[in-house]
Chains A and B, each alone.
Chain A
Amino acid sequence: MQPRDGGPVDQAIELVHRADRARVLAGLIGLLRDFDLAEEALQDAFVAAFEAWPKTGIPVNPAAWLTTTARRKAIDRIRRAAARDRRQREWGELSVAWTSGSPADAIVDDRLRLIFTCCHPALSIEAQIALTLRTLGGLSTAEVARAFVIAEPTLAQRLVRAKRKIKDSAIPYRVPDPAELPERLDAVLAVITLIFNAGYLPGDGSAVVRADLCEEAKRLAVLLADLLPHEPEPIALVALLQLLDSRRAARADENGRPLTLEEQDREVWDRAQILTALQLLERVATLGPPGPYALKAGIAAVHASTRHPADTDWPRIVDLYDQLLLVEPTPVVALNRCVAVAMTSSPEDGLRLLDEPDLAGALGQYHHYHLTRADLLRRAGRAREAAIAYEAARTRTDNRAEHEFVDRRLEELSLRSGGPISHPMRGAAAANRQG
């Protein structure tokens, strides 16, 4: 929603759109049980605001005005549809739902219900991400399409299909029972993480970071943590995203080329975000044994608390990865653990783990696997093998910034060819590209 002329009414609408759209929309979906109708009614209400507010003045509570107006617009739409299709039954149900009203605190629950509906495992992961960004985040379909490098009609089609499935197969609009919550919460956390990663590690395009997606993901994580204050993992996710995001300004050089964790100027790291995250992690520690997000945040916290890369407490990081492998035994976790092992003992030890057939087989098409391998080979002084591994990484990503990073490394290797690499520890953290 763009301001039309930037006057006070337009500014007020812009503000309420940014701050309250998700909350109002969630309430409407809860009431109407229909995503499309809720979105259309809210759109109608915004149009009505553009017409009414210049005459009546900006209401004291713009969000409440929008909710009331959107309900009325929804009823208008249903009446028109009922007249057309004789869908009297729906109108009857809506009247009942409307008169029962929704107390103010139920609006918060509506957003939580909406998160669980959007991130329902019966929907494809792409649909979960798109629905979450469209309904709870502030992004337009065009922006979501651009962020995930999908043609807009394809994305629109995907959203239509997802909404139809929610309706036709009766995916419920509710917070899961305590017995189901851990599994369903994992799905929500995964969606938010994927949104953040799409901003932090774009697989395509030329940017190193897409700040808008990182901000959306952080906002969603904070919302989830606020709505489920007794669950440790959403709080840990907020901390993790803040710790990763604290490095945003340091992650590329002045030419936009990505820098490794070790190369980054740690003075540029956002201290405020780091401090908040460390405080959140203290609270997480009081809420029970650490889950995967608490452990990942713990690893990021070790880096965030270390001013000089050489002082990094790698044995502590290996220990955290060991714990993480128990709760999340995935190849990517195993890959990152290899780096920590290499840093604790030797590059050769890391390479031995990396070349184990299970890991090599699982991650052979993943460009970070080859980058990690290349980096460990380089530090082991095996320049020729390192160059081959960098080339392997290059062919497995379309990201231009990543290509430039590989080119820079290859150039450095060729300058040094013929002899062992003089500073085997230099660029060590390059492998830890999550960093």
Chain B
Amino acid sequence: MRYMLIIASDPALHPVPGGPGWDDLMAGYAAFSEQLASHGRPFSGDPLAPPETATTVRVRDGKTLTMDGPFAETKEWMSGYFLIEADNLDGALMAASMIPSAKFGAVEVRPVAEMH
């Protein structure tokens, strides 16, 4: 089964590039990606640029409404994702708990709704 691991970070707690804890965090992500690769199952994942860079698009009555900012204003923001394959929810939860940013924020685990 495929699961989306959505990483939500609290910017007040999360290390920033060049700041304390950043190198450890990057090393953690490198190790996590290696671990995922070692399972031999397809996966993808990337960090996202901060929410200031977000643009939200809605289409209503054929008109495209474009707005500055993310679709929801929250204290924690989506800072990255992994799309993985796992046997079941326990496997996905295990993977989520190994994501380095889980120490500073939260990881939401959502099964992909497969369309047959």
**Chain A residues in the interface with B (C-beta under 8 A):** 120, 122, 168-172, 174, 176, 180
Contacts and interface: CB of A to CB of B under 8 A. Distances in A.
Interface residues of B, number: 10
Contacts of A174: 90
Given A170-B111, A172-B89, A180-B90, 13 more contacts: A122-B89, A122-B93, A168-B111, A168-B113, A169-B109, A170-B87, A170-B88, A170-B89, A171-B90, A172-B87, A172-B88, A174-B90, A176-B90
Contacts of B90: 171-172, 174, 176, 180
A-B interface, 7 closest residue pairs, ranked by CB to CB distance from nearest: A172-B88, A170-B88, A169-B111, A171-B89, A169-B89, A170-B1, A170-B89
B-side interface mostly = mixed
A176 B113 CA distance: 25
A180 B89 CA distance: 14
Contacts of B87: 170, 172
Interface string B60-102: 0000000000000000000000000001111001000000000
B35 to A, nearest CB: 16
A85 to B, nearest CB: 11
A117 to B, nearest CB: 10
Interface string B104-116: 0000011101000
A180 B88 CA distance: 15
Contacts of A170: 1, 87-89, 111
A171 B111 CA distance: 10
Contacts of B93: 122
Contacts of A120: 89
24 contacts: A120-B89, A122-B89, A122-B93, A168-B111, A168-B113, A169-B89, A169-B109, A169-B110, A169-B111, A170-B1, A170-B87, A170-B88, A170-B89, A170-B111, A171-B88, A171-B89, A171-B90, A172-B87, A172-B88, A172-B89, A172-B90, A174-B90, A176-B90, A180-B90
A168 B114 CA distance: 10
A174 B113 CA distance: 23
A176 B111 CA distance: 20
A97 B1 CA distance: 20
Contacts of A168: 111, 113
Contacts of B89: 120, 122, 169-172
Contacts of B110: 169
B43 to A, nearest CB: 17
A275 to B, nearest CB: 40
B4 to A, nearest CB: 11
Contacts of B1: 170
A124 to B, nearest CB: 15
Contacts of A122: 89, 93
Contacts of B111: 168-170
Nearest to A173: B88
A168, A169, A171, A180, most chain B CB atoms within 10 A: A169
A293 B87 CA distance: 33
A29 to B, nearest CB: 15
Contacts of A169: 89, 109-111
Nearest to A122: B89
Contacts of A171: 88-90
Nearest to B93: A122
A170 B110 CA distance: 11
Nearest to A116: B90
Nearest to A179: B94
B105 to A, nearest CB: 19
Contacts of B109: 169
